[in-house]
């Protein structure tokens, strides 16, 4: 991987358009050269992006390219493309991970934190505020607003499912695998909870490895044409990107740092469920476990977190299904990462009766929203920082890419199952609901209305007509 980290390339000076910057492996150590970019500059640049970046992860990646490749010239196109390839290979919200990678490359761990805070803070603050205040709505107003938002969610997830199917299942084999995963989840898999989803993903990855999925797929441009980079003027690579050779001069300290972060990720992934069971369902440990696992198992974009979070927070009774869908709909109208939905859920969580005295203040619920937000993003950082020093070796493993194609197909199947239940069965109760949802879908896909405008329209339709 090649992304600006060595020597003078860490300054705020633009890079040569034909330069090759060996950076990702050095970024894995969290260090930056003597001329590193100020973390404060990174924070304020990403804060502006967090306030204005509507349109979802693909649009975010395009905005980042316009800002850091075309305008500031901090990265070459090749360097930026390979960072995008790595982040789309890893679980987690790809656009947020690209932002973390940019900050990590320019200013070490402080830059990584600054980039994440700047990009996440605007939508997170609004979502936590909505989570605190949603219960204050009158019953009639809340019912109408929720009814309209549910139909917006139908249109938005249908659009995401359509695009992801075209991108991730471009051939018969992967489309069939996605259908099998959906059938499994709608059948016996749904009753297994998160373990059913994990089983489906593992089985799909093995199928991808055995049958070498994607090795004879259509051309890159054809397979991923749905990404529609025309909307942001970008031309970014996707998981299939086969970039040039990476920097081979990776210090032992960088590999040690990568192993540390990967070990911490593994410890939390398996240790939090054990600790939760040992403490017999401790509230905060249970929340940390639920949100960490949701963040660690998301392949394919922010919308895929929907079925994972639904199982983690609705099934235990922390959040009602109606509140869950209301927050998810509100998240569609926000700029920045969709994962800030976790902040809403944390602030709207039903606290166990034994802990009510400790959570009477709104500020404690704000802290709970920040707590869930931290744990859903934590796996993204740990995986990014851990994988950076080893990306060259990973990129050269053809069998690993085939397994990843299988995982992508499973993601489509999981999202289809979630689209049917809980979204469709809860939102569409009669023919007028279906007609409105289809109309929203047409405005979103063909008229290219921004999602935030669809959300506002859905709220108004729900309040005045439903």
Per-residue model confidence (pLDDT) at position 228? 33
Confidence at 251, pLDDT banded by 50, 70, 90:
low
Integer Rg of the chain from CA? 21
> Could you give the residue ranges of the DSSP H alpha helices within 297-422?
305-309, 321-332, 341-347, 362-387, 391-395, 398-418
- Dihedral sign for Cα 80, 83, 89, 95, please: negative
The residue whose two tokens read 């198992």 is: 297
pLDDT in tens, 197-211: 778 888 998 999 999
Q: Which two tokens stand for residue 61?
A: 């990646």
Cα 243 versus chain centre, distance: 23
Return the number of other C-beta atoms located less than 10 Å from residue 263's C-beta: 12
Percent of the chain at pLDDT > 90 equals 32
Q: Which two tokens stand for residue 248?
A: 């081979």
2 touches 82 (CB < 8 A): yes
Per-residue model confidence (pLDDT) at position 343? 95
Confidence at 126, pLDDT banded by 50, 70, 90:
very high
12 touches 42 (CB < 8 A): no
CA distance 194 to 200: 10
Kindly write down the DSSP assignment for every residue of 235-278, as one continuous string: ----TT----PPP----HHHHHHHHHHHHHHHHHHHHHHHHHHH
Per-residue model confidence (pLDDT) at position 32? 52
The structure's pTM equals 0.73
Average of per-residue pLDDT across 179-183: 94
How far the first Cα of the chain sits from its last, in Å, is 52
CA distance 323 to 16: 50
CA distance 431 to 400: 45
Q: In whole angstroms, how far apart are CA 367 and each of 79, 292, 358, 430? A: 37, 17, 12, 40
pLDDT in tens, 8-30: 333 455 554 443 344 454 455 55
> Could you give the residue ranges of the DSSP H alpha helices within 169-243?
172-186, 194-211, 220-223
Confidence at 4, pLDDT banded by 50, 70, 90:
very low
Pick from 68, 77, 65, 61: which is nearest to 2 by CA?
77
CA distance 301 to 53: 16
């Amino acid at each position: 991987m090649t992304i600006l980290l060595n020597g003078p390339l860490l300054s705020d000076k633009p890079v040569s358009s034909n330069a090759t910057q060996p950076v990702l492996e050095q970024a894995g150590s969290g260090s930056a050269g003597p001329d590193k970019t100020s973390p404060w500059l990174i924070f304020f640049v990403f804060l502006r992006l967090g306030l204005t970046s509507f349109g979802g992860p693909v649009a975010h990646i395009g905005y980042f390219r316009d800002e850091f490749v075309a305008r500031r010239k901090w990265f070459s196109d090749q360097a930026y493309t390979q960072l995008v390839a790595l982040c789309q290979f890893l679980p987690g919200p790809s656009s947020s991970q690209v932002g973390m990678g940019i900050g990590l490359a320019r200013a070490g761990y402080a830059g990584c934190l600054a980039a994440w805070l700047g990009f996440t803070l605007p939508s997170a603050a609004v979502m936590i505020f909505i989570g605190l205040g949603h219960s204050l709505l009158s019953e009639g107003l809340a019912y109408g607003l929720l009814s309209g938002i549910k139909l917006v969610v139908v249109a938005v997830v249908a659009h995401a499912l359509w695009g992801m199917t075209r991108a991730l299942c471009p051939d018969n084999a992967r489309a069939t695998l996605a259908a099998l995963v959906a059938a499994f989840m709608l059948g016996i898999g749904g009753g297994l909870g998160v373990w059913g989803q994990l089983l489906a993903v593992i089985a799909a990855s093995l199928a991808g490895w055995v049958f070498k999925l994607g090795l004879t797929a259509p051309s890159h441009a054809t397979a991923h044409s749905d990404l529609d980079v025309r909307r942001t003027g970008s031309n970014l690579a996707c998981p299939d990107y086969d970039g040039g050779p990476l920097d081979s001069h990776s210090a032992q300290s960088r590999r040690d740092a990568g192993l540390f972060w990967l070990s911490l990720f593994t410890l939390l992934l398996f240790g939090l469920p054990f600790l939760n069971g040992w403490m017999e369902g401790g509230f905060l440990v249970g929340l940390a476990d639920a949100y960490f696992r949701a963040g660690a198992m998301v392949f394919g974009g922010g919308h895929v977190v929907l079925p994972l979070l639904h199982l983690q927070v609705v099934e235990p009774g922390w959040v009602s299904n109606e509140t869950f869908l209301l927050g998810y709909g509100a998240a569609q109208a926000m700029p920045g990462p969709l994962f800030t939905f976790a902040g809403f859920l944390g602030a709207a969580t039903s606290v166990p009766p034994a802990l009510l005295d400790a959570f009477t203040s709104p500020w404690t619920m704000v802290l709970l929203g920040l707590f869930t937000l931290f744990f859903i993003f934590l796996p993204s950082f740990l995986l990014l920082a851990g994988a950076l020093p080893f990306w060259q070796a990973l990129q050269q493993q053809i069998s690993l890419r085939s397994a990843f194609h299988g995982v992508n197909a499973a993601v489509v199947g999981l999202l289809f199952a979630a689209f049917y239940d809980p979204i469709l069965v809860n939102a569409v109760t009669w023919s007028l609901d279906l007609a409105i949802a289809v109309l929203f879908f047409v405005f979103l896909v063909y008229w290219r209305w921004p999602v935030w405008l669809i959300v506002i329209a859905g709220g108004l339709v729900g309040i005045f007509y439903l």
